[in-house]
Amino acid sequence: MSQEYTEDKDVTLTKLSSGRRLLEALLILIALFAVWLMAALLSFNPSDPSWSQTAWHEPIHNLGGAPGAWLADTLFFIFGVMAYTIPVIIVGGCWFAWRHQSTDDYIDYFAVSLRLIGVLALILTSCGLAAINADDIWYFASGGVIGSLLSTTLQPLLHSSGGTITLLCIWAAGLTLFTGWVLG
């Protein structure tokens, strides 16, 4: 049984352009920052130094060091338990940018703005839902400052159940805007 090579195939290797290399390096750095941020959030200790602490004890327990303790404290204050979703959103954005870097010839700014409005609606309503329906963590409100503002605005008008239903409807609209999925 003879094996005969019948066709020459030219294989061309394409070099990455400098812009694409820079984008990939930036995406890797941002993804590593998200991993560091998640480690800082997961290892948060209320006794670590931060802007909301007047005294702290050595050593720092946070895996991100003093900057990680400060950032985790600030994110928990602003977003509450929804701070845990921020690194996931960052990694998801990096994955989306990496996946679509070669397929997009132009940037559809309208679609990008709809996605940004959708992710903003998801974050705000998730904070509000956590503030209304979840218990507080450490000395932070479960929805952070954002959730507390939304819940104190909605509860006098719609009560807890009406506020929850309203926020769930806005959350579903934000999910549709962000992902492009059709509900129903």
149-179 pLDDT, tens per residue? 999 999 899 999 999 999 999 999 999 998 8
Asked if residue 138 is part of any domain, the answer here is yes
Residue 13 scores a pLDDT above 60: no
Peptide bond into 59 cis (omega under 30): yes
Query: Confidence class of residue 8 from pLDDT cuts 50, 70 and 90?
Result: low
Residue 76 scores a pLDDT above 80: yes
Residue 52 scores a pLDDT above 60: yes
Which pLDDT belongs to residue 98? Answer: 85
Residue 12 scores a pLDDT above 70: no
Same domain for 90 and 144?
no
Last residue of a domain, one of 39, 71, 103: 103
In single-letter form, the type of residue at position 115 comes to R
Q: What is the mean pLDDT of residues 125-145?
A: 90
In contact, 137 and 75? CB cutoff 8 Å:
no
Q: What is the domain range of residue 74?
A: 20-103
In contact, 175 and 118? CB cutoff 8 Å:
yes
Last residue of a domain, one of 88, 103, 118: 103
Q: In 3-state terms, what secondary structure has residue 74?
A: helix
Task: Look at the chain and report how many structural domains it folds into.
Answer: 2
